[in-house]
């Protein structure tokens, strides 16, 4: 089962961080959000990734080129320059395909460029800037049960504002950014069949506005409703909230040991 992660956008809404690095490389704790997303998939046995690169994609390449050496102990001989990497518990058995998909390519165009790699069967896809505790095996089972081309994970985003719970005119409770019914949205974490490529033609195509909209019109788009944690990282405030959850040891998306 291949996992596609769209990791090439400009991330302009988080420009405080993305002027110097691509959005998927913005850190939560000691690792970029991209790593957090991949750890969740890998925990459930999905360990082959296709990263659709664009803006500052060389930084993502460098991260994975250096990943093993930076994650383990090593011995360096200054005499001859040899390096011995020690096996000290590193267990990320991933295969990562780093595919250049263009600087200005839209989401659908990035996926279309991956068609030669993904024509063999069902694959997963998500965005490189959102974390969740969605049950990926249940999501895949749901997709296989209905036989349509595409499944999106539907989420209800946290409110931008605190919620008030009333007792008459008295405020009984103040809830900080509760998960309330602001309407269901596409939270990523999709499962797709190769038939999706028939709905995409070139770099300018939006996966959402072109392909998913057409699939919905034809009854080929299903939604897996996820009622629990989901959070994108579009603003500095959202980034800081994710960093706080991680530093406090309460990150709901950390499903791995």
- Answer yes or no: is 162 within a domain: yes
Q: What's the pLDDT at 177?
A: 57
pLDDT band at 157 (very low <50, low <70, confident <90, very high): confident
- Answer yes or no: is 174 within a domain: yes
Mean pLDDT along residues 143-158? 93
Q: Burial-class residue 203 by CB neighbours within 10 Å (0-12, 13-18, 19+).
A: middle
Residue 97 CA, distance from chain mean position: 15
Q: What is the mean pLDDT of the chain?
A: 92
- Answer yes or no: is 254 within a domain: no
Least confident of 22-26, 143-147, 165-169, 221-225: 165-169
pTM: 0.91
- Answer yes or no: is 109 within a domain: yes
CATH number where 212 lies: 3.90.550.10
pLDDT band at 158 (very low <50, low <70, confident <90, very high): confident
DSSP letters for 82-110: -EEE--SS-----EEEEEE--SS--HHHH
User: How many folded domains does the chain comprise?
Assistant: 1
pLDDT band at 168 (very low <50, low <70, confident <90, very high): confident
């Amino acid at each position: 089962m291949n996992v596609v992660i769209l990791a090439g956008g400009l991330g302009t809404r988080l420009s405080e961080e993305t002027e110097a690095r691509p959005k998927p490389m913005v850190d939560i704790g000691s690792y970029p959000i991209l790593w957090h997303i991949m750890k969740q998939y890998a925990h459930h046995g999905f360990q082959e990734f296709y990263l659709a690169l664009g803006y500052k994609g060389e930084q993502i390449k460098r991260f994975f080129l250096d990943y093993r050496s930076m994650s383990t102990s090593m011995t360096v001989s200054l005499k001859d320059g040899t390096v011995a990497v020690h096996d000290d518990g590193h267990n990320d058995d991933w295969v990562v395909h780093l595919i250049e998909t263009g600087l200005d390519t839209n989401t659908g165009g990035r996926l279309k460029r991956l068609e030669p790699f993904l024509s063999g069967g069902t694959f997963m896809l998500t965005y490189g800037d959102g974390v969740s505790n969605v049950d990926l095996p249940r999501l895949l089972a749901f997709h296989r049960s209905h036989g349509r081309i595409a499944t999106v994970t539907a989420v209800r985003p946290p409110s931008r504002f605190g919620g008030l719970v009333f007792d008459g005119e008295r405020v009984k409770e103040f809830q900080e950014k509760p998960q309330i019914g602001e309407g269901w949205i596409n939270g990523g974490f999709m499962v797709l069949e190769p038939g999706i490529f028939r709905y995409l033609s070139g770099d300018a195509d939006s996966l959402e506005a072109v392909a998913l909209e057409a699939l919905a019109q034809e009854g080929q788009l299903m939604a897996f409703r996820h009622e629990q944690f989901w959070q994108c990282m579009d603003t500095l405030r959202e980034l800081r909230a994710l960093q706080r959850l991680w530093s406090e040891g309460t990150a709901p998306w950390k499903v791995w040991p």
